[in-house]
Structures are given as C-alpha cells and as structure tokens.
C-alpha cells in the first residue's frame, strides 16, 4: 500500500515507522528544515516496543502524479488548513484520509475539502516526544491507533487487512465516532483542568476539593457526548476517572506545556468546540467554560507579546 504521512513529529514518525516495518511504501511530507534533518540522519524512533532507525522517503511537496492509497494527517489542529493544501495533490478517487487529530471539528473541514466518503475517523493513544536531535522518543507502553469509516465504504474492507498486521496496537472500529467522542471528552477534561489549575493531576487531586472538581468536569463533558448520541461506556468512564484522579500523578495535558511556553494551543479545537456543541443542546459546562476562558486569555497574551 502507498501511504503518505503528513508530518514526522512524534505521532507521524512513530506510526509511519511501524507501517514501514509492515512492508508498506511510506512517504513523509514535511517542512524543509525537518526534511533536511531526516535526509541527513534518517528517521529514528526510540521505543521499548522496539527501535527504528533507517533512511525513509521524504518529500516537501507531493510529486506530480503522486496519488496515494492512504493519507495520514498527524498535524496540530491549527495547521489543518495548511495540511489540506499540502496533501490535496495526493488525493485521488480511491484515496482515503485518516486524520489523527484530537477532537472532532476537523472532520467537517476535511469533509468539505475532500468529500465525506474519503474521510475516515481516527484516534491514537500514545505519548511521544520529538527530541532536539530530531529523534522521536516513545514514552511508556501505550501505542494504540484506532481507525474506521464513518459510513459504508468498500475501500476500508480492502485496506484494513493491510493495516492490522502493523507491529503496534492497531484496531479497526465499526463505531469510530464513539471512540473519538470517548477520547474527546477525556482530553477536554484533562486539558481543561490542568490548564485551569496550571498543575498536574497529582497536584490537583492532592487538594481538598481537587478530586471532586476533576470528576465534575469529566461528568460535564460526558453529558455532552451522551446528549449527542455517543455515551461513554462504563468501562471507559472507570478507566478515565482512574487516570484523572491518580494520587501523585505527574500527568499534564500537552496543551498546558504549549500554554506555559507561550505557544499556540488547540483550545478552540477541543475546549471551544465542546462548549459550542454543549450550548447548541442547551447544556452549561461551567468548569470547562472557566478553563477555556483561562486558555483564551493566556493565548491572547502570548500573541500580544509576540507582536510587541
């Protein structure tokens, strides 16, 4: 299978490497600076699940006639418009697009650009970090990628069997929107609370009211999913609550790291979008609204400082 991966940061590099190991023809579409580094040093992934180090096919533009079977998007939500323009020449009638962005708002944008029939749903659960030397480090053991079509699609029947043998936890879901909602509400809670409190999960739950506030925020977010037809399963709720209330946990959302360094965040794509969906069905989410306001203020300050 011919696969184009947009981005070779943490997620794109990790799953792109595993796809190569499974025998697929993988090209990475990256910016010139990243391309120069990868051409010089190859793609390097350090993981307890098995390292990867090899030269890989790097492009900074889709070559003429370069239509692919599958295009994987691993960019940040705020780079989506640029990503769409970059991959457009790679999209043919039979091409399928697998976005691994957080949240749900990107689906409408991609549907408008390429047609709903070409856009699958996707979720990844992995902690990876791009190092200063250009290598990628996989943190922990979790390396799950779940994909599925959002409507009947013969192409998924043709392509899925080739994706499942990849040496990672790759899953094909017949209810991909439920899976995406499950992560959406969990991530909104984690990002909202750690950014609002400017603290880790462990620091929050160590306070007298911290655990109760964390559970309340998670309940707020889940209520939106349930109202819109995607209730989170009890087992997933139990797992999510356990992670969000673990004593001493150093866990923080990457959004908090972005906020602390004065960078752009995915606030609007995750917190803002969930709030908008809640308001459309008459729900109020006071904790998430407070967190979203905190992030908006912080991001506005960073933009003002950068412009000064």
> Which of 27, 24, 303 shows the shortest CA–CA distance to 167?
24
**Catalytic residue (one of 49, 76, 183, 252):** 183
How many CB atoms neighbour CB 144 within 10 A?
A: 12
Using CA atoms of 240, 243, 245, 250 in order, give the dihedral in degrees to the nearest 10.
Answer: -150
Q: Which two tokens stand for residue 187?
A: 């991530």
Contacts of 146 (CB under 8 A, 6+ apart): 122, 123, 124, 170, 171, 172, 173, 176, 179
Q: What is the largest CA-CA distance in the chain?
A: 61
The DSSP H or E segment spanning 299 is: helix 286-307
Instruction: List 73's β-bridge partners, or say none.
Output: 6, 99
49 is catalytic: no
Point out the residues that are catalytic: 183
């Amino acid at each position: 299978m011919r696969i184009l991966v947009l981005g070779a940061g943490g997620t794109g590099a990790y799953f792109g490497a595993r796809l190569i190991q499974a025998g697929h023809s993988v090209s990475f579409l990256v910016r010139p600076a990243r391309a120069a580094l990868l051409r010089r040093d190859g793609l390097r992934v350090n993981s307890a699940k098995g390292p990867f180090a090899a030269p890989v096919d790097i492009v900074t533009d889709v070559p003429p006639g370069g239509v692919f079977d599958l295009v994987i998007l691993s960019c940040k939500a705020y780079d989506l418009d640029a990503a769409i323009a970059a991959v457009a020449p790679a999209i043919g009638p039979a091409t399928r697009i697998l976005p691994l962005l957080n949240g749900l708002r990107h689906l409408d944008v991609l549907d408008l650009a390429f047609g709903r029939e070409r856009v699958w749903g996707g979720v990844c659960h992995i902690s990876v970090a791009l190092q200063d030397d250009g290598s990628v480090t996989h943190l922990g053991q979790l390396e799950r990628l779940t994909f599925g079509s959002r409507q009947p699609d013969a192409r998924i029947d043709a392509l899925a069997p080739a994706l499942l043998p990849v040496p990672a936890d790759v899953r094909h879901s017949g209810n991909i929107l439920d899976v995406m909602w499950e992560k959406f509400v969990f991530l909104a809670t984690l990002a909202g609370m750690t950014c609002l409190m400017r603290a880790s999960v462990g620091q929050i739950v160590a306070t007298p009211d911290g655990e109760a506030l964390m559970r309340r925020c998670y309940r707020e977010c889940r209520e939106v999913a349930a109202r819109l037809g995607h209730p989170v399963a009890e087992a997933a709720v139990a797992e999510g609550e356990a992670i969000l209330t673990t004593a001493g946990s150093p866990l923080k959302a990457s959004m908090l790291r972005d906020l602390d360094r004065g960078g752009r965040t995915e606030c609007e794509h995750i917190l803002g979008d969930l709030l908008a969906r809640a308001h459309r069905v008459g729900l109020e989410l006071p904790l998430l609204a407070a967190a979203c306001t905190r992030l908006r203020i912080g991001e506005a300050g960073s933009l003002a400082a950068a412009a000064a």
